[in-house]
Amino acid sequence: MSAQTEEVTAGAAPPAGRGGAPPVRRRDGRRAGSAVPYLLILPAAVFTVLLLGWIMVENGLLSLQNLNRRQLIRRATEWTGLGNYTDTLGNSDFWRVTLRSIVFTAANVVLIMVIGCLIGLLLARLGKKLRLLLSLGLVLAWAMPVVATTTVFQWLFAQRFGVVNYVLDRLGWHAMADYNWTGGQFSTFFVITVLIVWQSVPFVAVNLYAATTTIPQELYEAAALDGAGVWKRFTSVTFPFLRPFFLATTFLEVIWIFKSFTQVFVINEGGPDRLTETLPVYAFVEGMNNQHFGMGSAISILTILILVTMTAYYLRLVLKQEEDEL
């Protein structure tokens, strides 16, 4: 791999020598007008723009077509204009799923952020050995591949012989002895939420702990001198100092949870009765399983628009920060 890198870099070098005049040769890379930076970013730019752009355009075109099983087999193109969009927007199912996705995302993100931050702050208070122990647990959960975790949680919450039902039964909640977790809407979402929170909290906790170590200790000493309690110290020192961290992490979690497909789909394929479909799963089931490809594409475009709207504030902030920096 390294050989390949060198070769390409070396191949890109000569134009630089030609482009820059001898006196500025050492700084030529930093001057605009040299071909080197363009050659370096070319593969990444072409690959991303072409493939991603193509997918986006294809997605847009498909959403304007009446493309079902019949048209797919005949390879026929039937344009319907905005028909798929008006159908989707006029469909109460779509709005129910949208509301469900937003509530689902909000609930998960709040849980992840609160639990993650509490654990992060706890890590900062612990002695060395216990901190290492807890970090080990967090890292294990963090490292577990999503697909494996999903299977494991199916086993934990299994109706027969599942350890969760056994423990609930032993704790005195006998109605849970043979409880079918995937039989109801709320209980299915409960399992999915526990699963997502379990695997997402470590990221927040470990990073928050790492971030707290960058807060100057003097700030806490000053706050303590002023008689600030635990809560006050959090709101007046920790939170303001880590504001960028909280903002970035919260919005990243919103994006990740909102578009999560694997966990929701694998646990119960959106069931029972399609009651646990979130937008990505809904688009998938409509488009791929029910073979309404045009409709599914329209739903996917609307999903992206909703996600962009939800994260617009953060996206604008990120873009602005980048612009200030450059």
* 250-289 binders of another protein (CB under 8 A): 252, 255, 258-262, 265-266, 279-280, 283-284, 287-288
Enumerate residues 57-116 that contact another protein by CB under 8 A.
58-59, 62
Query: Exactly one of 137, 183, 216, 240 binds another protein (CB under 8 A); which one?
Result: 137
d(CA 291, CA 215): 54
- CB of 260 closer than 8 Å to CB of 252: no
Query: Exactly one of 15, 19, 37, 184 binds another protein (CB under 8 A); which one?
Result: 37
Both tokens of residue 214? 């960058």
Both tokens of residue 312? 């617009």
Enumerate residues 218-247 that contact another protein by CB under 8 A.
244-245
Q: Please state the closest distance from residue 103 (CB atom) to another protein, in A.
A: 18
Q: How many CB atoms lie within 10 A of CB 131?
A: 15
Q: Please state the closest distance from residue 146 (CB atom) to another protein, in A.
A: 5
**Nearer Cβ to another protein (106/266):** 266
Q: Please state the closest distance from residue 96 (CB atom) to another protein, in A.
A: 18
Q: Please state the closest distance from residue 241 (CB atom) to another protein, in A.
A: 10
The span of 5-13, 89-97, 221-229, 231-239 binding another protein (CB under 8 A) equals: 5-13
* Amino acid sitting at position 26: R
**Nearer Cβ to another protein (114/147):** 147
- CB of 212 closer than 8 Å to CB of 238: yes
According to DSSP, residue 236 is labeled I
Enumerate residues 172-211 that contact another protein by CB under 8 A.
198, 202, 206-207, 210-211
Phi/psi of residue 65, each to 5°?
-115, 150
**Binding mask 289-318 vs another protein (x if CB under 8 A, - otherwise)?**
----x--xx--x--xx--x---x---x--x
Q: Please state the closest distance from residue 243 (CB atom) to another protein, in A.
A: 11
Full DSSP string of 144-179:
S-HHHHHHHHHHHT-TTT-HHHHHHHHTT-GGGTT-
Residue 79 CA to its chain's centroid (Å): 34
**Binding mask 106-135 vs another protein (x if CB under 8 A, - otherwise)?**
-------------x--x--xxx--xx-xx-
The span of 24-32, 79-87, 102-110, 179-187 binding another protein (CB under 8 A) equals: 24-32
* Angle of helix 128-143 versus helix 185-212 axis, rounded to 10: 130
- CB of 82 closer than 8 Å to CB of 103: no
d(CA 86, CA 20): 57
Q: Please state the closest distance from residue 107 (CB atom) to another protein, in A.
A: 19
d(CA 202, CA 321): 27
Both tokens of residue 70? 């019949």
Q: Please state the closest distance from residue 238 (CB atom) to another protein, in A.
A: 15
**Nearer Cβ to another protein (3/225):** 3
